[in-house]
Structure 1
Amino acid sequence: MTGGVDIMRLNARALRQASAFDVLTVLLAVAVMLLVVYPLLRMLWVAVAPAGTPSLAAVSQVFGAPWLAQTVFNTVVIVGTSSVLALVFGGGIAWLNERTDARLGLIGDILPIVPLLVPSIAFAIGWVFLGAPGTGFINGALAATLGRLGIDAGVQIAGWTGVIFLYTIHSVPYVYLVVAAALRNVDSSIEEASRTSGASAWTTLWKISLPAIAPALVSGALLALITGFANYSIPVIVAERAGIGVISVRIFRMLNAEIPPRLDQAAVMTVFVLVAIAIMWSFQRRLVAGGRFSAIAGKGARWTPVRLGPWRWLAWAALFAYFMCAAVLPLGALIVVALQPFWTGSIVFGELSLINFHEVYVADQLTRAAFMSSMLYGIFGGMIAMLAASMIALFAVRHDNVFGRFVDGVMKLPAAFSHLALAVGFLLALAGPPFSLGGTVTLLLLVYVVIHLPQASITATSAVAQVGRELSEAAAVAGASDARAFRTIALPLILPGIVAGWALLFVLIAGEVTASALLSGLGRPVIGFVILSAWESGTWGNLAALAGGFAIMNVVVVLFATVIGRGNARLR
């Protein structure tokens, strides 16, 4: 009994000593956990008890559906193949950029992540304009050149090859970011010793470099799989044209295109995706915990880049080709179609005009409202997510213990689930009674923030790591509260990193399609929803003006944020 009283006294003393900033941060972490766990539990309950009592009717209906086997097969083949290819290309670009003389400096760091700045729906539509039979610009160019020589050549983007190609390009940045970070954190002295001993660059890569970063490769592949299962833009734009059904589109149709909506069956399908992701997470943890990877200890050693000789030009050509496929070609196609009165496979410069932009951004009130709504969601959603992530990152640094790491891990919890699963969970848990948030700004903002908290947390943690703990301790000695120290010391120092993270979140939130397609509508339109509506109506000029203008806005915002962040860094 005495021991219990002592523990209660210690806890009470710790509670009194805890600052208001710490208490607020812990409450914030608890709120995030509830916003992730409750919707998922609600979704699981709907799947097994659609009418409030346990029943497996929805499960049997889904697993007895004639379309299930083909849809699952299509999804697994597309996502699995594209993830493997993304791992090869993303890891290869990271190695070229971090370990060889093909590195292009800052340009080399930016080019691989350019697709993150282009909304996935704009990327997919741009490639439809490029690779559609007959009217696609690539097919038009091939017909005008090779066709005159009697060579029948063309591309078909709406097919298995095209869908896997687009999934791969879309997933490369996620793999690149993880693998490049691992290569930067690994001491290359053993790699240099291997080459000094006479091993070729390829032998060193296979036996030394790859085993050292194997956990990062596994994580990159898993991230590509998760984003692939959640992707809605590419399958609805391209796979549907080819008659290839995938899980994400099927779930959306159950919720939005069928009357009455099949909430229980959609929940079953989403749980199916969650189980698949959980199995992959478990496989990754076992693989990493197995200890079969080589590790290179030590950091900070200088390294000599691998000299590729004449292969360096091929590496640069490959990086340039990736940049063209990921951004330049699809954006160029969008702009050309937006400037033409009709979409054809050729460009008639005398007919180019801004009429489609005028119709979309000036004459159409719904589009204007959607554009402004998406901008505001991106601005304020990014700010909220980055502020919350910064507070928790500082808390984790100040409390370097199990509890601090747990609080920090909560912010990364949404990364374990696909956007599709979280969006469906929020729809089932909060759209109806007792919360009745369906179609409201609150619901959309909550979903956007929660979905993108992991990206915010990673960026904030990186920025906070550059601020020494001594500054906070000095502020405490001087009598400043934690909140004041955060506002006057930490925040100005980490602001460049915060601005960079906000720019990324702005692009991701404003261009979010998966959650927007499920949770928005005519009463609360966002740009992703309006672009999908324009796609279904077949108004190609307006569609291109919407997607192209939105992509250009994202690039402008990122460039502006970069200038602001660097300017602030110079003033420090």
Structure 2
Amino acid sequence: MKVLLWITFVVMFILIAIPLILLFLDSFKGEEALFTLKNYIDTFTRKSNIKSALNTLYLAISTTFFATLIGSVLAWLIARTDIPGKSILKTLLMVPYMIPPFIGAMGWMFLFGRAGYLNKLWEKFFGHILFNVHSFPGLVLVMTMYMYPPVFITVHTALMSMDASLEEAGRVCGARLFRVMRTISLPLVLPSILSGAFLVFAMTSANFGIPALIGMPARIHVLTTRIMSYIASGTEKGLSRAVSLSVILVGIAITGLTLNNLFVSKSKFTIITGKSTRPTEIRLGKFKMITSFAVWIFVIFAVFLPLFSLSLTSLWKAWGLPFKFSSFTFGNFYKVLFVDENTKSAIRNSFVFAILSATFVTILGSVVAYLSVRVKSLVSKFMDGLSTLPQAIPGTALAVAMILMWSSKFGINLYNTMWIIIVAYTARYMFLSVRTVSGAVRQIHESLEEAGRSIGAKQLRVLKDITFPILKPALLSSWALVFMPTFRELTISILLYGPQTRTIGVTIYELQEGGEYQMASAFAVFVLVIAFILQYVVNRYLLGRERT
């Protein structure tokens, strides 16, 4: 067991720790000195980089405010009121969380771009466009629509876990609804609200897809898009500036996630009690139908309209044709799936990369999970913490770290090959496997394995005959949970792909940037269909088997 522990530790250290250490050290490395601030001075004496950093902060703060407000209000309405259709509303409100943000951004572009459907319709009647999504307010709007779900689910869970007798006591004492909310409910769920807010702040700072598609056409850069621009330049100076910006971005993201973890622990301590009283539904009375109507309008606006515009664009023969039956075709899907060599190659690559990454992550992650639960040592704890670190930092920063690590730094050059992408995916999504499998390992009592060893079975035989069959549902869930995000990943792939290693995410992005809107939309709809099918399989079959 000790040999396996140390082998796993070395693999994890090479996979995750060394690239991140290199990223940090290289940001202080100069041509003549081992430690210098020259890279940071050079980077931040450029006004464009200062502007990008400020844009990142402004975007993160603005998105956090609106996403927290929307998510908290919706969570309260779904969890505590008698609004009709709460079950279906809760499901629909979580749909944006399942959609890759860059694909969602495409749907918003087709609605509110300069030639977007709603803008063209509005201009026809009123002589001017309704809203230009390629602006900072547009960037905040689209980002908010894909960042409110974490707040919604965090606050909803907290509200459902509260001790309802506290609010009941307030109402018994004669306090009105809003006073009970202000003096009792809000203070109790405030840690959860703040937790969700800090999580949104970190996720917004790290996002690449939405700023790239919505902000870059308006020359609005954030740190993630600026890093991509420097890497794309292919120069040594560009790489050093990308490294400096990546370290700054890591600091911003980790600050948000650290504060999130702090308030998660406070949230659990404050509001969850041993009582199992179910919260009493608040009757909205005459406001019931108005509130329900408002929530459904939001769902249509946030969920259905972007997906509808994306689907509609995928069926157009050409952009700008009149709205009639002869203008639509399924030919775009046929071209994407069976004709165009770039898209066919991207589909093959994404399937191969996702399958290999999911397999490697599940194998290594399950070993880390088993050792972290069964072996009580500092090494196992360190590995467990190390597995979550790549998820805590932005994907662009991780990609830059992988470039530093695997571009002949130690005599191994994986750059422009499929393996650097697979290595990056493996590091990025390791936490999914570790968290999924470790929970299952904790449910296996050690006496089962001890019984096998007591009759003379060796450790490997015990793992094969006892532990593995019990863990099989968790391992399958781990594999599927890693396959889904890696199949349509963009943020890491856009910095690491080579001429022969384009992925689906990269290809959709390039088609969109090249003006091939119909093909990009058809490809995006294909990805969404695959994603929803996989999500259904995981929810209905794999996770269902794990619970039983």
State the TM-score, normalizing by the size of structure 1.
0.84
Name the counterpart of 1:303. 278
Which one-letter code corresponds to 1:229 in the other structure? S
Superposition deviation, residue 407 in structure 1: 4.2
1:231 shift after superposition: 1.0
RMSD: 3.4
Q: Which residue of 2 aligns with 1:159?
A: 135
Q: Which residue of 1 aligns with 2:26?
A: 46
Question: Could you give the per-residue CA deviations for residues 339-373 of structure 1, whole angstroms, max 9, x where no partner exists?
Answer: 11112386322221122222222111221111122
Larger relative contact order, structure 1 or 2 (CA cutoff 8 Å, min sep 6): 1
Query: Which of 74, 79, 90 is matched with 2:60 structurally?
Result: 79
Aligned length in residues: 545
Contact 1:114 1:323 in 2 (8 A): no
Deviation at residue 27 of structure 1 after TM alignment: 4.2
SS in 1 for 2:47: coil
2:223 aligned partner:
247
Per the TM alignment, residue 322 of structure 1 is displaced from its structure 2 partner at its CA by: 4.7
The amino acid across from 2:271 in the alignment is: I
| Cα drift, residue 494 of structure 1 | 5.4
- Post-superposition offset of 1:82: 0.3
Cα offset, 1:403, TM superposition: 6.6
Q: CA deviation at 1:483?
A: 5.1
User: 1:103–1:51: structure 2 CA closer, same or farther, 3 Å change rule?
Assistant: farther
Shift of 1:286: 7.1
- Give 1:281 deviation, angstroms: 5.1
What are the equivalent positions in structure 2 for 1:519-530 lying under 5 Å apart? Answer: 519-530=496-507
The aligned counterpart of 1:328 is: 304
Contact 1:338 1:541 in 2 (8 A): yes
Cα distance 1:23–1:173, how it changes in 2: closer, same or farther (>3 A)?
Answer: farther
Question: Against the structure 1 CA distance between its residues 320 and 292, is the aligned structure 2 distance closer, same or farther, given a 3 Å change threshold?
Answer: closer
Equivalent AA in structure 2 for residue 303 of structure 1:
R
- Judged with a 3 Å threshold, the aligned counterparts in structure 2 of structure 1 residues 464 and 314 are, in CA distance, closer, same or farther, namely farther
Unaligned runs of 5+ in 2: none
1:500: how far off?
4.8
Distance 1:533 1:285, change over 3 A: closer
Contact persistence 2:314–2:522 (CA under 8 A): yes
Long gaps (5+) in structure 1: 1-19
- Structure 2 residue aligned with 1:375, among 340, 351, 368? 351
**Which residue does 2:42 correspond to in 1?**
61
Aligned equivalent of 1:37: 17
> Quick one: structure 1 residues 287 and 122, their matched pair in 2 at CA, closer, same or farther if it must change by over 3 Å?
closer
Report the CA distance shift for 1:375/1:207 in structure 2 as closer, same or farther (over 3 A).
Answer: farther
Report 1:341-352 matches (<5 A): 341-344=317-320, 347-352=323-328
Please report how far the alpha carbon of residue 479 of structure 1 lies from its aligned counterpart in structure 2 after TM superposition: 5.7
Distance 1:336 1:199, change over 3 A: same
Q: Is the 8 A contact 2:192 2:263 kept in 1?
A: no
C-alpha contact 1:122 1:547 (8 A) present in aligned 2: yes
Percent of residue pairs bearing the same amino acid type: 25
The amino acid across from 2:60 in the alignment is V
Moved more, 484-493 or 429-438: 484-493
Q: Which amino acid aligns with 1:169?
A: M
Partner of 2:526: 549
Cα offset, 1:105, TM superposition: 6.5
Distance 1:485 1:453 in 2: 25
Per-residue Cα deviation, 1:103-162 (whole angstroms, up to 9, x for no partner): 8576455333322332222111111111112x2112234356xx1xx5856122111221
CA gap 1:511/1:286 in 2 versus in 1, 3 angstroms: closer
Aligned to 1:6: none
- Describe the SS at the equivalent of 1:48: coil
* Contact kept? 1:495, 1:565, Cα under 8 Å: no
1:57-82: CA deviation from partner (whole Å, max 9, x where unpaired): 32221121121332222221111110
Is contact 1:378–1:510 with CA below 8 Å preserved after alignment? yes
Q: 1:308 to 1:68 in 2, by over 3 A?
A: farther
Q: CA deviation at 1:261?
A: 5.9
1:532 is matched with: 509
Q: Deviations over 1:32-85 (max 9, x none)?
A: 344332112212222221437334332221121121332222221111110222
